[in-house]
Structure 1
């Protein structure tokens, strides 16, 4: 349903009086524009108010006709329609401001200012926790580690079809609010529900320095158990209000997530006039990802292990299709970014974990330069200390690595027949990202044979 916004009569009277003072009229038009944008944003934000609604209810919450919801096996048509509606609203707003300002671009047209918002977009076991520390260690950046975990745990969506659209809408809405330092949005998804904006259940709080430093770190409460407590100091339960205030005080913000699947649904965030957003998509050789997941999530990969060692029964087709789907979603997002659509130009960077592991400081500088943020000595010092760790000191979730030596360890832990399965289903993605296929067990384990092509300069768009 098309939403119409009428300018208040007081605004129209003032604009009429200021026709001869164009510079003031233009400024006022910009203020009016912000009011209209805020109304629309409040309207879209209501999608997250109902925590356990069906995709149909989500469509209704966004003011869309339920008949527009895609079929169970549909694609992202409803999501595209919502994005298109957002774009149409923005176009109408621009036309109104141009008309009122005599055809001139308003001097106050949204200027994002110096604050940058960085999204590190990855999948599990791609080294995203390690790379996220590049931003977590910088004092003027407010960093959040996997805040969307709470949404995934609270709102259950099956993969594919309408449910994929529903989850994308919720993730996007929450992500936008977090970038605006509205951390209260998470209270809708944290279980048990925070009382008085206090919670000891913030996922991986200890992985965010900003949530463990003054003044967010309140006095320790001895009788309150906090599973994901701060690592280097004792703090009381997280005060969401203090965290939100700390977020607003920081110069920039960065957020790491493995729960964003489609790059295209981020377009409204990239185009939001309040954000100056940069997206870094992190990828890794899918053979290495599988090898790492088989260690980190051992119970979920028992069938893969049995098939590799015994070969008595074929792999479960659902497992193979899940692997194919993961590779395809990563590839499609990367292809969109590399096509350089106008809305994403200058705001997307593709980076391989292997290149970061080989040259961590160089890649950190490239990512900071891309984000438009000055890299500080404290980050350089952290990288120096945490990329030369002894090989036997790193647990499966550790961010301490002897990165130049460990990034190829997977070649000696994954059976060749499993590597072949990955190569068969993920070949398009591997070709795009420059991962060479291994033709034999000997080629897989021969360190003198590189399985990496050189990176492409065009990966920074």
Structure 2
């Protein structure tokens, strides 16, 4: 009797292992069949023990592997626009420059959803960085999944223009078909990305996947940037850890330093020449605040979109639209803290009324980043005010 139970137990264990193997194989097969390009050559976790991502660029040496096969964008492809931003750097405001354009398919934070493909990648033992890159490739290819297995409706719903499509999904149950068709009808796919923290990862999209890439790298003065994150985020440097407000002052300072170090490293990658002038452009929140229309026109030229009178009027309305925010909500239903309806010059200088001690703490912690940007301290070590204009390279006369 005991031997029969033992054999039955062995049989059950064998069946469970077999089902797990089939599930893993089918998950990876599903991903490869639906994602478009063949990504099977990208690394998996057994290789990640030595390399955390496909290495094509070295920050230490400032060099990258040359690969002429990806030197030109595929003719006739959609244009892939990556808005590379840190949270609270003005990312949604920058997005608003594009999302109302009739030739654009805009996706809010494509790395936020916990989608079927993301789970398939995890089951197939792909690294997080590789998974992120493949998700961006998926979105560019208009590979939108079944609504029961994705948070795409939530993500797209952050932009009011997609509401009719989301209603159609609810009424007819064919959300992927509707959104995929809409995506394919556009010439430019714009993705606002705030979870790729090493911009050299984009070289994989360009060289290994061959996406016709346009990277718009948004940066912000670390003083107002950090203060905004402290006000609205539970974290400073990375998600998923202990809440920033519960950390000791020294740990908070460490996280602020880490954020500035990450941003400085990415600035140096952007300036290193690994991306061509046709592939990469950088702007600051400060520059955009001073002259949003000038920058909008420059960005439209960079990505190959026509800058129309309607586009100009839309951006003008947003950048002088603080009065449109009523009862804590803007005209699109967003919470005021995340609204794009602002008076840009007011926002630009608002942080300067904060505690001099805290401002100077950030100035010390982020000195290398501020120096690299050409920004200056407004307080000395004794908290005496020594400058009225923190951005002498950006603003010649303070309004």
TM (norm. structure 1) is 0.63
> In the alignment, does 2:163 pair up with 1:168?
no
Q: Distance in 2 between matches of 1:315 and 1:46?
A: 45
Q: 2:279 is matched with which residue: 347, 365, 368?
A: 347
Q: Where do 1:177-216 residues align within 5 Å?
A: 177-184=138-145, 194-195=147-148, 202-208=153-159, 211-213=162-164, 216=165
The residue that corresponds to 1:289 in the other structure is 225
The residue that corresponds to 1:436 in the other structure is 376
Q: Distance in 1 between matches of 2:279 and 2:298?
A: 13
Residue by residue over 1:203-257, the C-alpha shift from the partner in whole angstroms, topping out at 9 and shown as x without a partner, is 33233356334xx344485xxxxxxxxxxxxx88781221111111111111101
Moved over 6 A (4+): 38-41, 87-91, 152-156, 235-238
The residue that corresponds to 1:361 in the other structure is 293
Are the counterparts in 2 of residues 217 and 236 from structure 1 also a CA contact under 8 Å?
no
Unaligned runs of 5+ in 1: 1-37, 48-57, 61-65, 71-76, 95-108, 157-162, 188-193, 222-234, 305-313, 457-461
The residue that corresponds to 1:302 in the other structure is 245
The residue that corresponds to 2:347 in the other structure is 406
SS, match of residue 452 in structure 1: coil
Are the counterparts in 1 of residues 73 and 211 from structure 2 also a CA contact under 8 Å?
no
Residue by residue over 1:3-58, the C-alpha shift from the partner in whole angstroms, topping out at 9 and shown as x without a partner, is xxxxxxxxxxxxxxxxxxxxxxxxxxxxxxxxxxx9997442697xxxxxxxxxx7
Q: 1:112 is matched with which residue: 65, 71, 75?
A: 75
Quick one: structure 1 residues 373 and 142, their matched pair in 2 at CA, closer, same or farther if it must change by over 3 Å?
A: same
Are the counterparts in 2 of residues 116 and 276 from structure 1 also a CA contact under 8 Å?
yes
> In the alignment, does 2:304 pair up with 1:372?
yes
The residue that corresponds to 2:92 in the other structure is 129
Unaligned runs of 5+ in 2: 1-32, 59-63, 120-124, 236-242, 331-335
Residue by residue over 1:42-83, the C-alpha shift from the partner in whole angstroms, topping out at 9 and shown as x without a partner, is 442697xxxxxxxxxx725xxxxx25523xxxxxx4424478
Q: Distance in 2 between matches of 1:68 and 1:217?
A: 39
Residue by residue over 1:308-352, the C-alpha shift from the partner in whole angstroms, topping out at 9 and shown as x without a partner, is xxxxxx6132x32222222122111121111212x5442111100
Q: 1:59 is matched with which residue: 44, 51, 70?
A: 44
Quick one: structure 1 residues 238 and 323, their matched pair in 2 at CA, closer, same or farther if it must change by over 3 Å?
A: farther
Quick one: structure 1 residues 89 and 250, their matched pair in 2 at CA, closer, same or farther if it must change by over 3 Å?
A: same
CA positional deviation for 1:90 = 6.6
Residue by residue over 1:162-208, the C-alpha shift from the partner in whole angstroms, topping out at 9 and shown as x without a partner, is x9x93211111111111111123xx6xxxxxx34x7x6763332333
Q: 1:454 is matched with which residue: 384, 393, 396?
A: 393
Q: Distance in 2 between matches of 1:114 and 1:153?
A: 26
Quick one: structure 1 residues 117 and 67, their matched pair in 2 at CA, closer, same or farther if it must change by over 3 Å?
A: closer
Are the counterparts in 1 of residues 288 and 295 from structure 2 also a CA contact under 8 Å?
yes
> In the alignment, does 2:366 pair up with 1:417?
no
The residue that corresponds to 1:385 in the other structure is 317
The residue that corresponds to 2:240 in the other structure is none
The residue that corresponds to 2:260 in the other structure is 327
Are the counterparts in 1 of residues 218 and 282 from structure 2 also a CA contact under 8 Å?
yes
Residue by residue over 1:354-378, the C-alpha shift from the partner in whole angstroms, topping out at 9 and shown as x without a partner, is 1111111111011111112222222
TM (norm. structure 2) is 0.72
